[in-house]
Structure 1
Amino acid sequence: MNLPISLFIALRYWRAKNTDRFGRLVTNLASIGIVLGVTALIIVLSVMNGLEKHQKQQVLSAIPHSVIMPTSGAVSLSDPLPSLPDFVQKAVPVNITGVIFQTPNGVSAGQVIGIRDFSDDLLLQEFDPAKFSQILPSGEFKLIIGSQLALKLQLQIGDKVRLMITENSQYTPFGRVPVQRLFTVSDIYFSGTEVSGYEAFANLSDIGRLMRIRPEQAQGYRLFLTDPFQITDLPTFFSAEKWTIDDWRTQKGEFFQAVRMEKNMMGLLISLIIIVAVSNIITSLSLMVVDKQGEIAILQTQGLTKSQVRRIFILQGFLVGVVGTLIGASAGVLITLNLNEIIGVLNPQGIFLPTDINIMQIASVIGFSLLLSLLSTIYPAYRAAKIEPAEALRYE
């Protein structure tokens, strides 16, 4: 197979064993550094993606993704749903408010969600839909509370708990006091998330009465999104003049912002490994240019142009980057796919790390590494092309 002359010579130099030992050591260190940097970057980004996805599933699935409310008045239950974007899976009428739970055993802040059916919330999927009218009948002010909240307030099924709605208040001779009502605990739901420590459910109309909303109306619509992070697209579909949007970012926005910032910082820090490794390519190529001055001069006298000389060293340095990047990417993906098995061998205490391999991220890491490898060859290649045969061969 006939190769271009620049690629042929670059391959010969790259595979040569009799070159300067120090230059060969620096080249090997560059390759190892790129392998380690790319591997570590892919593993860390995949783990951070997995943690973010796990938290999204565990945390955001248990709280309302978004609640849209009219800027004035309430929505009528008899009216059809507003036009919804494709990424909204479901919309249900909802009354939702912050409350204070008060019992003889303590006080706790939380929120109550008014529902019309158990399917209106993922936390209540285990309940029999046919028993909704028995567990949360309209007008009887019954409540389903979380297991952690029941433990905190020492509540059992059948116990009474006072709900005080701080958002609404009424004037009395003693001043302004919050709306309050005694509710009966009709059931307890169990969840492994922190939501069960503050969230409770009641009949839609019962909560509506406390919020001064008519039985045939609701505060707004609760939206279930395909991806909770698409919440930023909602304002383009619901005019700010007609709708007020309240979403999960008011409760968990700072947490996910911190996770994303941590992922970006970890990626930046590990990228420095690749940058340091790529700088070794500049060193090794510069040493080779000095070592091969005579050969370069002879090649030029035999007809090799300066652009071909530049390509020799560009291709040689790029080969180091390509090999290191491909090995690092393969090792990173392989380790990520078997990360929990590896952790199980090193630490058999049952630690689980969720991972999520993002093809676009891996492509970006590979592209970043190859681009730096290519840029690192420009200066040594430029120096090699400046060699004049007469000067280089004067003392040969």
Structure 2
Amino acid sequence: MFQPVSLFVGLRYSRASKGNAFISFISFFSIAGIALGLMSLITVSSVMNGFEQSLKSAILDLIPHVQIKQSEQLDKQRMTALEQHPLVKRVTPYLVSEVILQTNQDLVGVKLQGQFAGYSNTLDTQIESGSLATLHNNKYQLALSRYLANKLDVGIGQQVRVILPEYSTYSPLGRTPTQRLFTVAAIYNAQSEADTYLAFADGKSLQRLMRKSAEQFDVSVHLHDAFELQAFYQEASPLLSGLQYQDWQTQQGTLFSAVAMEKRVMSLLLGLIVIVAIFNIVSALSMMVSEKQGEVAILQTLGFTPNMIAKVFMAQGMYNGVIGTIIGLFGGLLLSSNINESLHFIGLNLLGGAELPVKFEWRDLVILTMASVSLSFVATLYPAKRASNVLPAEVLRYE
């Protein structure tokens, strides 16, 4: 006989085709509920992870993860140690200033970031037209986002007046902000919020406007993963001691906190579907216990202990939970992988032909799967306890 015997009897009850139709109906919907709930959780979680990854790539790759000010305080030994830190991707000289870009069409306030030639960056992968080589090889060149170029109505080779309110010069008319005509050398498209407020210039040209020497610049530290900021601070605290610095959370922390909160709320709401399905397991097993009291009593007379009886109904409930979890897991992976094709099939198209980004976090998948199975197990405890308390003498008295 199939061993252990409690599992054998429990699976026989689960797969039995005959019996109370209403109980079978509830059992079916408990499996369907768990599958749909888990599938929705995996799909939403994967899309939100993809959205978060897209934001991180589009925004955080363009700005310093940690900006160290006054580089003259950062000696060569500490600079080398920072570059060799396992969490650090690159360390580069860096300048930034609040400026106003002005044309005959419009004016807009942006952050003008100075990048120095000879150092790697991610801007070159987002260039739509023009060239970063032109930006670095010629004086007073500018890289604008597609959004800013359209707003200012300029293209490659046209000029934009750059005004630095923080720096001023004396003229016959009095003190006036430092300003200079820049030529548009490149247009990039990060497809993120950074497009609305970020422009780039060669670091040496920006140094001249800010009246800084060649040795005066800030230092940009990019991590392999921007979200490992706290771990970096803990490990590199001796290297940062005595330095003035700020990180990306100052500018973008609110945005990513909002995305993380939205992901948690969506997961909580969709998790309620799984919880409702778990209650269906409790209902189905409770009714099954009431219906099978006679069979439970007979099993006890054949030598089943209360503990074995409890395991019979726990096996039956876990069968529904595990089957629903497996269907939901594979259904969620399949739907997430083909979410854009599914939207196109039902006639839903995102604005501008954009597609939903998808990223699978295997840790999240394991947690969701284990949580579903664990809740299914918890749901079996009460009905199994009831079954184990059945007294065969009372049940079989009038049989």
Give how far 1:289 is off. 1.1
**Could you say if the C-alpha distance between residues 149 and 22 of structure 1 is closer, same or farther in structure 2, counting changes exceeding 3 Å?**
closer
Q: How far apart are 1:206 and its partner, in Å? A: 3.9
Shift of 1:195: 3.5
Q: Which residue of 2 aligns with 1:216?
A: 215
Q: 1:186 to 1:101 in 2, by over 3 A?
A: closer
Q: Is the 8 A contact 2:6 2:312 kept in 1?
A: yes
* Range 250-259 or range 346-355, more displaced: 346-355
In structure 2, the partner of 1:303 is 303
* Bigger mean CA deviation after superposition, 94-103 or 40-49: 94-103
1:144: how far off?
4.1
For residues 1-396 of structure 1, what are the structure 2 equivalents within 5 Å?
2-70=2-70, 75=74, 81-84=80-83, 85-103=85-103, 105-117=105-117, 119-124=119-124, 131=134, 134-136=137-139, 141-155=140-154, 157=157, 159=159, 161-166=161-166, 179-185=177-183, 187-193=185-191, 194-218=193-217, 220-236=218-234, 237-239=236-238, 241-347=241-347, 349=349, 350=353, 352-396=355-399
Given residue 115 of structure 1, which amino acid in structure 2 is its aligned partner?
Answer: Q
Once the two structures are superposed, residues 204-228 of structure 1 have per-residue CA deviations (whole angstroms, 9 ceiling, x without a partner) of 344335445332232x211222222
1-10 or 372-381, which moves further after superposition? Answer: 1-10
Q: Residues 330 and 145 (structure 1 numbering): CA distance in 2 closer, same or farther, change over 3 Å?
A: closer
- Count matched residues: 388
Structure 2, unpaired ranges of 5+:
none
Quick one: structure 1 residues 179 and 232, their matched pair in 2 at CA, closer, same or farther if it must change by over 3 Å?
farther
Distance, in Å, in 2 between the alignment partners of 1:348 and 1:383 is: 49
Q: CA deviation at 1:335?
A: 1.7
Seen in structure 2, the aligned counterparts of structure 1 residues 38 and 164 have a Cα distance that, compared at 3 Å, is: same
Q: How far, CA to CA, are the matches of 2:23 and 2:330 in structure 1?
A: 26
- 8 Å Cα contact 1:135-1:187 kept in structure 2: no
AA of the residue aligned to 2:232: L
Gaps of 5+ in 1: none
Comparing 384-393 and 344-353, the one that deviates more: 344-353
1:122 and 1:325 map into 2 onto residues whose CA distance is 41
Identity, % of aligned pairs? 34
C-alpha separation between the residues in 2 aligned to 1:223 and 1:311?
Answer: 57
CA RMSD of aligned residues (A): 3.0
Deviation at 1:90, TM superposition (A): 1.3
The answer to whether the Cα contact below 8 Å between 2:72 and 2:215 also exists between their aligned partners in 1 is no
Q: Is the 8 A contact 1:118 1:132 kept in 2?
A: no
* CA distance in 2: counterparts of 1:134 and 1:183, whole angstroms: 17
Following superposition, the deviation at residue 264 of structure 1 comes to 0.8
Closer, same or farther in 2 for the Cα pair 1:346/1:146, shift >3 Å? closer
Give 1:197 deviation, angstroms. Answer: 4.1
Cα distance 1:158–1:379, how it changes in 2: closer, same or farther (>3 A)?
A: closer
| Matches of 2:30 and 2:78, distance apart in 1 | 67
Structure 1 residue 320, shift from structure 2 partner: 1.0
Note the alpha carbon deviations across 1:8-37, whole angstroms, 9 max, x for none.
Answer: 111221122222222111111111111111
Pairwise CA distance, 1:312: 0.7
Q: Deviations over 1:163-200 (max 9, x none)?
A: 2243x57899999x785232432524232535344333
* 1:284 maps to amino acid: A
Task: Report the TM-score, using the length of structure 2 for normalisation.
Answer: 0.86
Q: Give the Cα separation in 1 of the matches to 2:345 and 2:209.
A: 57
Larger helix fraction of residues = 2
Take 1:293 and 1:376, find their aligned partners in 2: how far apart are those partners? 20
What amino acid is aligned across from residue 12 of structure 2 in structure 1?
A: R
Which amino acid is the alignment partner of residue 390 of structure 1? A
CA contact (8 A) 1:289 1:380 kept: yes
Distance of 2:210 and 2:44 partners within structure 1? 47
Q: Which segment drifts farther, 55-64 or 8-17?
A: 55-64
Cα separation, partners in 2 of 1:362 and 1:150, compared to 1, 3 Å: closer
Q: CA deviation at 1:328?
A: 1.3
Conserved? CA contact 2:160–2:181, under 8 Å: yes
Deviation at 1:62, TM superposition (A): 2.8
SS in 2 for 1:83: helix
TM-score, normalised relative to structure 1:
0.87
